[in-house]
Each structure stands twice: as structure tokens, then as C-alpha cells.
Amino acid sequence: LYRHAECASGFRELRAAVSVILPLASGIRPQETRFVRDGDLSDDLAELTVSHPKGMGTYGDIRTVPVHPRAVPVLERYLEEFHGRGLRGYLFQGPGGEPVAGNTQRMWRCSVSEATGVAFDHRVLRRTWGQGLLDAGVSEQEVSVLLGHASTVTTAKYYARTRQDGARDAARRAWGRLRVRENVCGSGLGEWEGRCPIPVSEDLGQEVPETLVLGVPEELLGDVLLGDGAVVDEQHPVGD
């Protein structure tokens, strides 16, 4: 979609492409896109103020969002042609200067989809932006604010989900911050009589055997014994 916008020829084709690129680059909703004005963009085009958010006057708040850097040259080119035609105000406007109709916006999207061979709707553009931020390490709370959600519940359910591989990496990083004592066989802890536990490195961030290892901070348990998935302390002995 970015390549199509970068290679668009003529004002009409560029306008349709930008109507798709803007929500892809900023995560704004379709109706928010239709009401964007040229003055809503920062001078360097790196930020966009959503001055007409969904739910305006009730639950919606005006917010400012970052614009993906790849979209900046395309926006710069479009604004140059837009202003060169003597246009001001709404970036996507009808003959009378009013915001373009939703049906026209959908026609533009279909034309871009046909030209690129990419099937999408505006929800996909918005979700792609949100998911990209989450995958890059931006917190769910921060992504929720930028998307204009009232809570993180909507963000997590519909727009930006934590992927399993990312969740696993986060767990490994958390384990890497825990430090446990190296296991010693025959420690005589309670009634535990299982096999000799697998020695664990002082730093769980290092490579460990492919056996489930549970790390527990020493301030929470006494002498911790790890092995075959069991965690044993002096006060709570368990069987193998």
C-alpha cells in the first residue's frame, strides 16, 4: 500500500492512496480520516491531531498521534498538490469543501485494493497500526490511548493482541531477572524424595535444559529446590 501511494500519478489517484495511507500510518478511524484538516498535521508531518474523534462531545477526546515516518513523504507530496490547487481545510473534501462522504471514501479504498491486489478494509488498517506498535514494545495502555479507546479491554480484544511468541519472550526476560541458588542433591528438605534435581545456573537468562523450570525469588521462599517442575521449601514440603 505504501509503494502504491509512493508511485501514485495524478491528484485523484494520490488522493485515494493517501486516504488509505493516513489511517494505516496513524491508526485513526474511517470517520476521523474524513474530518482531518490540513492544519491538524504538525509542521514536520510527524504528528496528527484527531480534532474530530469518534464520540466527540460524549466519550471521545481530542488526541494527538504519531504518524509513521514512511507516510511523511507521501503526505508532503499530497499537501503540495492539495494547496497548489488552492484547496484548504479538509484533506478529503467534496465540491463544496465539506468532508467527503463515507461512500466516496469506500470507493477510493476499493480502487486502491483493486490496483494493489490487496484485500482490506479500514479496520484492518487501524488494527495493523495498533498491532505494529504493540509488537514494537509499546505498552497496551499506551496503544489504547493512541487508538482513542476508553479502556484497554477493547484494545486487547479487537485491535492489538499480545502474540504468543512475544508473550514467551517476555516470560523469558522476566525469568532472566530472577536468581536462584544452585540445587544440591540430598539437601534433606522435608519429605521430598524425588530424583536428583537438575542443576540450574545462577542466571536463568543463560541456556537451561528443556525441563520446565520455575524461578521463585529468594525473598518469597527459603531454600528453593527446583527440578522436574517441583518447587519445595522448608515450610511446605511436597511429594515428587
Find the mean pLDDT for residues 126-153: 85
Find the mean pLDDT for residues 137-153: 83
State percent of the chain over pLDDT 70.
67
Q: How does pLDDT run across 31-48, given as a tens digit for each residue?
A: 999 999 999 999 999 999
Q: How does pLDDT run across 157-212, given as a tens digit for each residue?
A: 766 666 666 677 777 777 777 654 444 444 444 433 344 444 444 444 444 444 33
Question: With 70 as the cut, is the pLDDT of residue 142 above it?
Answer: yes
Question: With 70 as the cut, is the pLDDT of residue 216 above it?
Answer: no
Q: How far apart are CA 165 and CA 142, in angstroms?
A: 21
Q: Give the number of residues written for the chain.
A: 240
Task: Identify the residue with better confidence: 61 or 4.
Answer: 4
0.75 exceeded by pTM: no
- Stretch among 23-32, 57-66, 68-77, 106-115 having the lowest mean pLDDT: 57-66
Average pLDDT of the residues of the chain: 77
Phi, psi dihedrals of residue 50, rounded to the nearest 5°:
-85, 95
Residue 68: predicted pLDDT: 95
Q: How far apart are CA 34 and CA 174, in angstroms?
A: 43
- Stretch among 4-8, 62-66, 81-85, 140-144 having the lowest mean pLDDT: 140-144
Per DSSP, 185 falls in state T
